């Protein structure tokens, strides 16, 4: 469905004499299948949002794709969204690939009724010939997602946070896209509302057999909804695998930390948090980017950067501890 | 204070408009300082032939009262600048006091202060100033005028300073220093003032601009102290002598030209400073760990 | 009609009353606490005219003026009488056009000021915001930078200087427009073309000087607002969804960015009013500003008081009107 190869996307700025080159996505490769939920996890500012934006072909200066490809196979045709622009990109967006961006509280125009916003989003891709038909379509779509048709008459401030997010999801799924990219779709919502929104996303994905990419720092959500999970650290994927493998047997030290920091029922011990802070992506450390915070770091980790290597079927990890052990096994 | 100097240095280096503003203001200040070596006393008249056009001897010509316009203008600009700075500083005292207390105390105090503040924002100042100056005609000195104008020049800026304090209040160091038992005044001075300082600077320049303009307005109406040369009173006397009709245009061109330059230069500084203070560009300028997520 | 809406309206009305109260109290207190005495000043003025006056006549004149200016009795009594007079629309007679009441002078001048202010405020607000929106939306294009430079050069110029330069340039040096007045002398008000064209020709320069300064301010403000709104999530979301540029610009960006500019208009109407007063003086335009100038010139104390009071009331009411119109544009105030 989607293949990403060695993607590098940097923020390049020059202001008041300070020039910066933030390597937010620095050599990411991944492959997505039809009808799966793919989770991307990591701390804030590890490059997850930049990655998902780039998957949508949405890079405006200062963000630039320096290297790599993002290729969708749509109706037997392959399209690299880092190479196309304008009308061609517009045709793919929403009808084929949709993107629910972060900020569920502010995705809707505060001075426009929801109906008008639906109208704008619909008309962007299909001519509306008949107001009544449009009305029926909008109501029908909301109904299918379990939303009351009255929201059409509301302004955003009249809706609750969860409702706003559902409306944003409804807008993103107007045309049954093949790929839905969702960035932190449940942050800022309370736990019960979160569950409802996640179930809605999952249901849409299952009904339309689409691919859902979900970016969140919340490992609990990944455990709940994802089929496969990628862990990002400092602009790179450090581990990727089936959800049960990642949670059952995390290989990368960073993944271990993330999972250990999850609360477990009946466990009264205090959560260990990772010492140190994520690196500055304007000036990342040499070698493995995790080594300054890694309790198992060895000399090689300071010098060389580990590749994301397949260690088993459907399992990739970028860590010398793991790969050299494997290699030792093989030889 | 150190950060303020850095801001000014940065603006000078990287913002062409600000550089222009700085240069022009510097030139105007030098021009005003020339008054100290003026060969003529500004109070004297008829020491030169009246109504002479600009020449090598009189760069800006002479007035109908036989004064050298160039040297007269050095005094006028000096007085106008001194007047503007005095007014701006005086009204700063009120603005900073109202802004900091309203923002910091919050609650009822804030609400009451802001209602009064907003009333002063909307109040049309000119008719009031005309009334005051009309009544005090004859006893009006430039300093008294500065005091009076400063009494009306604070509400906009108090509001700005308050909103800045409100956002600072939410930050962590405020809580830390309050929980560790620092007194309110200490928090205000040591923690908040450095952040509020650039905004105060920007409002000061804005206020300076407004005050000088107000003096020009009142002076041309004959409501300033017309015996002292300022940009405004120079125009007033030129008008009194029908300078335009009798063709002595240089008498008017000098104050008009200099004030236009001065106003544009000061305004460019305010705009540059405003852009510098904008959190969006500020974020991109800071070094160190940054969230790339929403850049 | 929701409770937030009603609370909003009540707040605005109270604020308006407070502005009027503060402003009028200041006008009341100023002459009473000033080191100079308006009665004394008027008497001196009369004596300077060269008439010989008997000391008894001077004393009587003083008494009459004190009474006329409402300066007799205790401060409290004066204050109550002051308000009573205001509320019944009585501002006393004008000294310079005695015995014409100040009220009638103001009544004839007010429409000119209101017209000038209204027309120039609407034009500059609309043009400035429209250009500012385009410039902010299309960012770093050449024309937007050029307009930005012009706006930045025009906006900071004081109203007096702008009006004066225009007068010199377009009425003296190149005499395209009349030097002053509101219509050609001797023309009777009518709806005919001659009258209207004369009206427009006379109003052109005063309005232009207000508009040039105003446009610059609104332009710069709007450009900043738009660059901020463009970065809002709802704009990005609509852009990503492929909503047309036109719709995004008008419905998503402009409608949101205009809201603070409406509040801004309310807050700046006082400043624009100041500008209108001084412009009227430059162009001898027969509004409140010109009236004030004549009052200063002739030492007409009651007339200046009247102009000050009317300016405060007029501006406060204009602010209230804009504030009351605001909910029409912001559904967050109107519906809860």
Mean pLDDT (chain B) is 83
User: What's the pLDDT score for residue C68?
Assistant: 79
- Give the distance from residue C192's alpha carbon to the nearest chain A alpha carbon, in angstroms: 44
The dihedral of CA B210, B214, B215, B216: what is its sign? positive
pLDDT-wise least confident of A57-61, A87-91, C208-212: A57-61
For A57, the closest chain C residue by CA position comes to C240
The Cβ of residue A227 has, within 10 Å, a number of other Cβ atoms equal to 17
Q: Are A53 and A124 in a shared domain?
A: no
Q: Which chains touch C (3 or more CB pairs under 8 A)?
A: A, B
Domains of chain B listed by start with CATH number: 2-294 (1.10.3720)
Least confident of A13-17, A38-42, A137-141, C60-64: A13-17
The answer to whether the beta carbons of residues C213 and C151 sit under 8 Å apart is no
Does A183 share its domain with A83?
yes
Both A45 and A185 in a single domain? yes
Same domain for A16 and A146? no
> B12 or C304: which carries more pLDDT confidence?
C304
A56 vs C contacts (CB less than 8 Å): 240
Task: Read off the pLDDT of each residue in B81-94 and give the average, rounded to a whole number.
Answer: 95
Most confident of A21-30, A261-270, A277-286, B67-76: B67-76
* Averaged pLDDT, C182-211: 87
DSSP H or E stretch at residue A311: strand A309-312
Tell me which chain B residues have a C-beta less than 8 angstroms from the C-beta of A48.
Answer: 293
> For residue A218, with 0-12 CB atoms within 10 Å meaning exposed, 13-18 middle and 19 or more buried, which class applies?
middle
Domain membership of residue A303 (yes or no) is no
The 10 Å CB-count burial string (b at 16+, else e) for C39-55 is bebbbeebeeeeeeeee
Q: What is the mean pLDDT of residues B260-280?
A: 83
Domain closes at, from A174, A191, A211: A174
Q: What is the DSSP string of C183-200?
A: S-TTPPP-SSHHHHHHHH
- pLDDT, averaged across chain A: 86
- How far apart (Å, rounded) are the C-alpha atoms in residues C273 and C311? 8
pLDDT at site B287: 35
Both A170 and A211 in one domain: the answer is no
Are residues B287 and A17, on separate chains, in Cβ contact within 8 Å? Answer: no
Distance CA C258, CA C246 (A): 16
Q: Give the residue-averaged pLDDT of C99-107.
A: 88
pLDDT band (50, 70, 90) for residue B4: confident
Q: What is the pLDDT of residue B86?
A: 96
A7-21, C81-95, C132-146: which has the minimum mean pLDDT? A7-21
Residues A90 and A182 in one domain: yes
Residue C41 CA: distances (Å) to CA of B223, C61, C62, C295: 15, 12, 10, 14
Task: From chain A, pick out residues whose CB is under 8 angstroms from the CB of C336.
Answer: 158
Residue B47 is predicted with a pLDDT of 84
Q: Is C67 on the interface with A (CB under 8 A)?
A: no
Structure tokens at A147: 């939303």
Both A80 and A223 in one domain: the answer is: yes
Distance CA A284, CA A282 (A): 6
Is A9 in a helix, a strand, or coil?
Answer: strand
Q: Which of A259, A280, A301 is the last residue of a domain?
A: A280
Out of A142, A174, A206, pick the residue that ends a domain: A174
B172 in A contact zone (CB under 8 Å): no
Mean pLDDT in residue range A129-136: 90
d(CA A65, CA A83): 10
Predicted pLDDT at B48: 81
Rounded Cα distance between B245 and C168, Å, is 10
How deeply is A191 buried, as exposed, middle or buried, from its count of CB atoms within 10 A (0-12, 13-18, 19+)?
Answer: exposed
A26 and A123 belong to one structural domain: no
| Residue A146 main-chain phi, psi, to 5 deg | 75, 25
Residues 6+ positions from A246 with CB-CB distance below 8 Å: A229, A231, A239, A255, A259
Same domain, A80 and A181: yes
CB proximity under 8 Å: A 112-151 to C: 112, 116-117, 120-121, 123-125
Q: How is residue C24 written in tokens?
A: 């009028």
Confidence of residue B207 (pLDDT cuts 50, 70, 90): very high
> What is the average pLDDT across C51-56?
72
C17 vs C99, more confident: C17
Q: Which of C308, C307, C301, C309 is nearest to C94 (CA)?
A: C301
Tell me whether residue A302 is in a domain. Answer: no
The two structure tokens encoding residue C54: 């008997």
The pLDDT, as a whole number, for residue B285 is 45
| Tokens matching residue B43 | 């109070």
Closest by Cβ to C308, choosing from B119, B131, B217: B131
Contact C234 A158 (CB under 8 A): no
| Cα dist from A31 to A9, A70, A280, A316, whole Å | 18, 10, 27, 12
pLDDT band at A215 (very low <50, low <70, confident <90, very high): very high
**What's the pLDDT tens digit per position in B252-267?**
899 999 999 999 999 9
Neighbours of C64 (CB within 10 A): 11
Both A82 and A180 in one domain: the answer is: yes
Does the pLDDT value for residue C121 go beyond 50?
Answer: yes
From the list B75, B76, B177, B162, the residue with the least C-alpha distance to B117 is: B162
Among B208, B99, B108, which Cα is nearest to B149's? B208
According to the model, what pLDDT value does residue C31 have?
85
pLDDT of the residue at B231? 94
- The alpha carbon torsion through B96, B101, B102, B103 (nearest 10 deg) reads 80
Q: Domain span at residue A155? A: 109-174
Could you tell me if A59 lies within 8 Å of chain C, comparing CB atoms? no
CA–CA min distance A281, chain B (Å): 7
> Which among C41, C152, C312 is the nearest to B123, CB-wise?
C312
C16/A126 Cα distance (integer angstroms): 50
State yes or no: pLDDT of C277 exceeds 90.
Answer: yes
Chain A residues close to B291, C-beta within 8 Å? 44-45
pLDDT score recorded for residue B186:
67
Contact of C77 with chain A, judged by CB distance below 8 Å, is answered with no
Q: Are A198 and A215 in contact (CB under 8 A)?
A: no
Alpha carbons C220 and A283: distance in angstroms, whole number: 37
Which residue in B10, B288, B290 is closest to A16 by CB distance?
Answer: B10
Domain of A257, CATH number, reads 3.40.50.300
Q: What is the mean pLDDT of residues C23-34?
A: 88
pTM of the model: 0.85
CB contact under 8 A, B290 and A50: no
Least confident of A193-202, B72-81, B169-178, B227-236: B169-178
Order of strands, sheet of A179-183, starting from the edge strand that comes earlier in the sequence: A97-100, A179-183, A211-215, A37-41, A228-233, A236-242, A315-317, A309-312
Q: How far is CA C322 from CA A40, B114, B155, C19, in A?
A: 50, 19, 20, 15
In a domain, A85, yes or no: yes
Are C304 and B131 an interchain contact pair (Cβ–Cβ within 8 Å)?
yes
CA distance B73 to chain A (A): 37
Contact between residue B240 and residue B45 where contact means Cβ atoms under 8 Å apart: no
pLDDT at A76 over 70: yes
Chain C within 8 Å of B247 (Cβ-Cβ)?
Answer: no
For range A11-30, the mean pLDDT: 81
- Count B/C contacts: CB-CB distance under 8 Å: 141
Taking an 8 Å cut-off on Cβ atoms, the answer to whether B287 and A18 are in contact is yes
A42 and A92 both lie in a single domain: yes
Question: Model confidence at B1, in pLDDT bands (50, 70, 90)?
Answer: low
Grade residue B184 by pLDDT with cuts at 50, 70 and 90: low
Is A87 inside a domain boundary?
Answer: yes
Nearest to C295 by CA among A44, A89, A94, B222: B222
Same domain, A250 and A162: no
Task: Supply the mean pLDDT for chain C.
Answer: 88
d(CA C47, CA A292): 92
Number of domains in chain A: 2
pLDDT at residue B290 is higher than 50: no
Q: What is the pLDDT of residue B167?
A: 78
pLDDT of residue A327: 52
Chosen from C121, C161, C168 to mutate, greatest number of chain B CBs within 10 A: C161
Task: Evaluate whether residue A291 is within a structural domain.
Answer: no
At residue B295 the predicted structure's pLDDT band, cuts being 50, 70 and 90, is very low
Closest residue to B115, CB basis, from C18, C160, C288: C18
Nearest beta carbon to residue B256 from set C161, C281, C297? C161
Tell me the pLDDT tens digit for each residue of C130-181.
999 998 888 777 888 888 889 888 999 999 999 999 998 998 888 888 888 8
Q: What percentage of chain C reaches a pLDDT higher than 90? A: 50
Average pLDDT over residues A284-310: 86
> Does residue B285 belong to the interface with chain A, where contact is any CB pair within 8 Å?
yes
Task: Answer whether residue A231 is part of any domain.
Answer: yes
CA distances from B111 to B105, B118, B210 (A): 10, 10, 27
Phi, psi of A63 (to 5 degrees): -75, 130
From the list A15, A16, A44, the residue facing B291 with the nearest CB is: A44
CA distance A81 to chain C (A): 13
- The pLDDT tens digits of the residues spanning C33-42 come to 877 777 877 7
Structural domains in chain C, CATH included, are 108-300 (1.10.3720.10)
Q: Within a domain: residue A327? A: no
In a domain, A219, yes or no: yes
Please report the ipTM that was assigned to this predicted complex: 0.88
Using a CB–CB cutoff of 8 Å, tell me whether B9 touches chain A. Answer: no
Distance CA C329, CA C331 (A): 6
């Amino acid at each position: 469905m989607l293949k990403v190869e060695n993607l590098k996307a940097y923020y390049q700025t020059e202001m008041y004499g300070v020039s910066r080159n933030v390597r937010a996505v620095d050599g990411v490769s991944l492959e997505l299948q039809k009808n799966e939920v793919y989770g991307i996890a990591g701390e804030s500012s590890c490059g997850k949002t930049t990655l998902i934006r780039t998957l949508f072909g949405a890079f405006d200066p200062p963000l630039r794709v320096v290297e790599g490809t993002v290729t969708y196979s749509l109706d037997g045709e392959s399209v690299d969204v880092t190479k196309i622009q304008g009308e061609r990109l517009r045709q793919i967006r929403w009808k084929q690939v949709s993107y629910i961006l972060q900020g569920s509280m502010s995705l809707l125009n505060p001075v426009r009724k929801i109906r008008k916003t639906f109208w704008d989003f619909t008309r962007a891709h299909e001519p509306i010939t008949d107001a009544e038909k449009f009305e029926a379509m909008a109501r029908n779509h909301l109904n299918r997602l379990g939303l009351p048709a009255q929201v059409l008459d509301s302004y955003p401030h009249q809706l609750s946070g969860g409702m706003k997010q559902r409306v944003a999801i409804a807008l993103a799924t107007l045309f049954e896209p093949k790929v839905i990219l969702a960035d932190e779709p449940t942050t800022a919502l309370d736990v019960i509302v979160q569950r409802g929104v996640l179930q809605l996303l999952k249901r849409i994905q299952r009904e339309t057999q689409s691919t859902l990419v979900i970016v969140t720092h919340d490992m609990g959500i990944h455990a709940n909804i994802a089929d496969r999970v990628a862990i990002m650290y400092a602009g790179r994927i450090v581990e990727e695998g089936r959800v049960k493998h990642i949670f059952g047997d995390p290989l990368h030290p960073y993944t271990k930390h993330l999972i250990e920091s999850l609360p477990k029922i009946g466990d009264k011990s205090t959560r260990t948090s990772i010492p140190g802070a994520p690196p500055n992506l304007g000036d990342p450390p040499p070698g493995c980017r995790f080594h300054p915070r890694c309790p198992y770091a060895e000399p090689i980790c300071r010098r060389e950067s580990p590749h994301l290597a397949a260690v088993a079927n459907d399992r990739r990890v970028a860590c010398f501890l793991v790969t050299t052990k494997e290699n030792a096994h093989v030889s | 204070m150190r950060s303020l100097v850095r801001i000014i240095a940065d603006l000078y280096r990287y913002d062409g408009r600000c550089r222009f503003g700085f240069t022009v203001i510097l030139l105007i200040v030098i021009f005003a300082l020339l008054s100290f070596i003026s060969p003529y006393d500004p109070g004297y008249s008829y020491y030169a032939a009246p109504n002479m056009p600009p020449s090598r001897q009189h760069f800006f010509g002479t007035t109908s009262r036989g004064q050298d316009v160039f040297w007269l203008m050095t005094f006028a600009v000096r007085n106008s600048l001194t007047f503007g700075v005095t007014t701006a500083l005086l009204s700063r005292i009120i603005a900073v006091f109202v802004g900091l207390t309203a923002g910091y105390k919050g609650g009822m105090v804030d609400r009451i202060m802001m209602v009064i503040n907003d009333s002063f924002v909307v109040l049309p100042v000119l008719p009031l100033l005309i009334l005051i100056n009309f009544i005090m005609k004859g006893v009006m000195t430039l300093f008294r005028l500065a005091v009076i104008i400063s009494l009306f020049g604070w509400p906009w800026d108090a509001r700005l300073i308050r909103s800045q304090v409100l956002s600072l209040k939410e930050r962590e160091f405020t809580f830390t220093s309050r929980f560790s038992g620092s007194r309110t005044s200490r928090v205000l001075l040591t923690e908040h003032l450095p952040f509020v300082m650039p905004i105060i600077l920007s409002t000061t320049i804005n206020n300076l601009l407004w005050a000088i303009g107000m003096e020009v307005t009142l002076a041309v109406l004959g409501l300033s102290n017309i015996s002292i040369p300022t940009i405004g009173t120079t125009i007033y006397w030129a008008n009194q002598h029908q300078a335009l009709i009798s063709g002595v245009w240089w008498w008017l061109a000098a104050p008009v030209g200099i004030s236009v330059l001065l106003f544009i230069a000061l305004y460019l500084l305010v705009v540059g400073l405003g852009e510098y203070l904008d959190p969006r560009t500020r974020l991109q300028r800071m070094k160190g760990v940054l969230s790339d997520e929403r850049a | 009609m929701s409770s937030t809406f009603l609370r909003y309206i009540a707040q605005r009305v109270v604020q308006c009353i407070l502005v009027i109260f503060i402003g009028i109290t200041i006008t009341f207190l100023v002459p009473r606490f000033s080191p100079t005495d308006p009665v004394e000043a008027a008497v001196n003025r009369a004596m300077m005219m060269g008439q010989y006056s008997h000391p008894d006549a001077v004393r009587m004149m003083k008494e009459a003026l004190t009474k006329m200016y409402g300066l007799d009795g205790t401060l409290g009594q004066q204050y109550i009488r002051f308000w009573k007079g205001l509320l019944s629309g009585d501002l006393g007679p004008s000294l310079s056009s005695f015995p014409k009441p100040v009220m009638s002078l103001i009544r004839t001048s007010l429409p000119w000021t209101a017209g000038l202010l209204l027309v120039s405020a609407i034009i500059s607000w609309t043009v400035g915001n429209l250009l500012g929106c385009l410039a902010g939306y299309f960012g770093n294009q050449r024309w937007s930078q050029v307009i930005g430079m012009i706006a930045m050069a025009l906006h900071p110029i004081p109203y007096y200087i702008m009006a004066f330069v225009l007068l010199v340039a377009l009425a003296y040096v190149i005499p395209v427009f009349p030097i002053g007045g509101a219509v050609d002398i001797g023309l009777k008000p009518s709806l005919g073309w001659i009258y209207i064209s004369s009206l427009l020709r006379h109003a052109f320069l005063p309005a232009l000087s207000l508009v040039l300064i105003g446009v610059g301010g609104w332009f710069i403000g709007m450009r900043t607002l738009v660059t901020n709104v463009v970065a809002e999530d709802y704009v990005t979301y609509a852009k990503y969804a492929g909503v047309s540029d036109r719709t995004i610009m008008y419905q998503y960006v402009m409608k949101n960015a205009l809201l603070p500019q409406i509040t801004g208009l309310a807050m700046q109407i006082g400043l624009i009013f100041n500008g209108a007063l001084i412009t009227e003086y430059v162009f001898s335009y027969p509004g409140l500003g010109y009236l004030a100038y004549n009052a200063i010139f002739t030492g007409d104390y009651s007339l200046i008081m009247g102009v000050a009071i009317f300016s405060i009331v007029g501006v406060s009411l204009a602010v209230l009107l804009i504030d009351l119109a605001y909910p029409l544009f912001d559904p967050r105030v109107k519906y809860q």
